[in-house]
Amino acid sequence: MNFKLIAAAVALAAAGTASANVLDPLAAGGVGGEMSLTVYSKQAGVSFLFDTGVMLGDFRADPYRSWSMAGNSAFDTFLNIYNAKGASDMRWTFFGGDNSGVPAASRTMITTVNGDVTALKNGDMVNSMNAIKNIYLDAANLNPQLNVTLGGGANASGVFLEGVNGRAYFPDLLGADFAGNFQDTSNVLGGTTELFDLVRSSTSALGMPNYTLIGYATFQQQGGSYTFSVTSSIPAVPEPSTYALMVAGLAVAGIAARRRAAK
């Protein structure tokens, strides 16, 4: 598998003014908006937006990557609030969209989907992208001082917002909590979920978008850091019966070793 490790500090520095395009498509170039990871907690009332610095079109061509949150001061602040409030509900979602500057029938979304992708409609996809941009991101980009105060950059790079009127949690805009516009796209810390490439099939809002499973996404704690990864296959998890066989095998080997030692 083709993995790339991009330190968060490097990604944030490289994003710079380009991060103004988080969740927003570029007017030219046909590469869409930047892919972003959002981590959030309703219990703690806080969310964190990480701009990967990778454009949707580039990610589509090379999706198997990994990003570390090590050294990311905004994420550290998020964790401090999360831990101080005794929260235990950390969830995450991954998203990139291309919703303007392209023909209506060609609008594109790449996102985690934790549900039945066949239930999606063209209209749901577009409405969700519009809601994210109009309600969440535009407000953040129009108030750079707020971003800096809360630990993000002037262009929403690595921004997190404490919950205000429920609008800090833009993963909800892609889930059942927001007017049912989209399937749930979030997963729990350590969980693996499917990542789909969705392309609007026609101008009909009721039509079903074309979809392609492009990988599996996981956000997990590894040692003292948190890492987000996209892989081409689900990480193997041994079945209970496999563990039982392993234990039985070790027991047999142990008995044999003791018998040899006793001779």
3-state SS, the chain, equals: CCCCEEEHHHHHHHHHHHHHHECCCCCCCCCCCEEEEEEEECCCCEEEEEEEEEEHHHHHHCCCCEEECCCCHHHHHHHHHHHHCCCCCCEEEEEEEECCCCCHHHCEEEEEECCCHHHCCHHHHHHHHHHHHHHHHHHHHCCHHHHHHCCCCCCCCCCEEECCCCCCCHHHHHCCCCCCCCCCCCEECCCEEEEEEEECCCCCCCCCCEEEEEEEEEEEEECCEEEEEEECCCCCCCCHHHHHHHHHHHHHHHHHHHHHHHC
Q: Which residues of the chain have pLDDT under 70?
A: 1-30, 100-101, 133-180, 235-263
> What pLDDT, on the 0 to 100 scale, is given for residue 140?
55
Is 168 among the domain residues? yes
> What pLDDT, on the 0 to 100 scale, is given for residue 68?
94
Is 24 among the domain residues? yes
> What pLDDT, on the 0 to 100 scale, is given for residue 172?
58
> What pLDDT, on the 0 to 100 scale, is given for residue 76?
86
Number of domains the chain contains: 1
pTM given for the model: 0.74
> What pLDDT, on the 0 to 100 scale, is given for residue 14?
28
Query: Domain range spanning residue 159?
Result: 5-238
Is 218 among the domain residues? yes
Is 221 among the domain residues? yes
Is 203 among the domain residues? yes
> What pLDDT, on the 0 to 100 scale, is given for residue 12?
26
